C-alpha cells in the first residue's frame, strides 16, 4: 500500500522487494569455507602474493591462484564510522567499517568492526576475524573484533 507524505513535492512510501540471484563463480570457496569456520584467501605461487578478497586469477601474471587458509589475526589499517547505510544495516547504526591488514595477506580487507566502545578504535589496533555460525552466504558472514 502506498502512503502519501506530501503533495508538493509529491513524496510517497511504497513497498519494494526484489530477489537477486547471482553466482560467486570461482570465488565460491571463500563463502563455503566460511560456513565450515575457515577464512580462506587466494595465493599466486609465482608472484608470492596473497589476496583477500580472493582473486581466482592473479592480476599481475594472470596465473590461476590457489586457496590458502589464514589465521584471521591482524591490525586495523584505517577505519570509518558510518551514520547511514543500506537497509539491512540501518538497525545497527552507527557502526564502523575497517580496512584490516591480516597476517599472511598482502592486500587490505574491508570488513565491519564489531566493538563495544567505538571511540576506542585505533589504527594499528589488534583484531581477530570472526565468522558467523549461521551463514547467509554474504560478506557480512565475517567481521573483525578487537583481539582479547
Ligand atoms: Zn601472479
Percent of the chain with pLDDT over 70: 100
Predicted confidence at residue 136, as pLDDT, reads 93
For residue 114, how far is its CA from the centre of ligand 1 (angstroms)? 33
What confidence tens digit (pLDDT) does each residue in 21-53 have? 999 999 999 999 999 999 999 999 999 999 999
pTM: 0.85
> From ligand 1's centre to the CA of 73, what distance in Å?
24
- Average pLDDT over the chain reads 95
3-state SS class at 38:
coil
Residue 140 backbone dihedrals phi, psi, to 5 degrees: -75, 0
Spatial separation of the C-alpha atoms in residues 88 and 91, rounded to whole Å = 8
Percent of the chain with pLDDT over 90: 90
CA of 25 to the centre of ligand 1 (A): 20
**Whole-angstrom distance, CA of residue 80 vs CA of residue 128:** 18
| Cα 47 to middle of ligand 1, angstroms | 4
| Domains of the chain with bracketed CATH | 25-146 (2.40.50.840)
Amino acid at each position: 500500500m502506498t502512503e502519501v507524505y506530501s503533495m508538493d513535492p509529491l513524496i510517497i512510501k511504497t513497498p519494494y522487494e526484489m530477489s537477486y540471484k547471482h553466482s560467486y563463480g570461482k570465488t565460491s570457496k571463500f563463502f563455503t569455507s566460511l560456513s565450515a569456520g575457515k577464512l580462506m584467501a587466494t595465493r599466486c605461487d609465482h608472484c608470492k602474493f596473497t589476496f583477500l578478497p580472493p582473486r581466482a586469477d592473479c592480476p599481475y601474471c594472470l596465473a590461476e591462484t590457489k586457496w590458502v587458509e589464514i589465521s584471521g589475526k591482524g591490525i586495523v589499517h584505517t577505519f570509518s564510522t558510518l551514520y547511514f547505510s543500506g537497509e539491512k544495516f540501518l538497525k545497527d547504526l552507527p557502526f564502523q567499517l575497517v580496512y584490516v591488514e591480516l597476517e599472511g595477506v598482502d592486500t587490505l580487507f574491508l570488513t565491519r568492526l564489531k566493538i563495544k566502545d567505538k571511540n576506542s578504535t585505533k589504527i594499528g589496533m589488534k583484531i581477530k576475524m570472526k565468522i558467523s555460525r549461521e551463514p547467509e552466504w554474504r560478506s557480512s558472514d565475517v567481521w573483525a573484533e578487537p583481539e582479547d
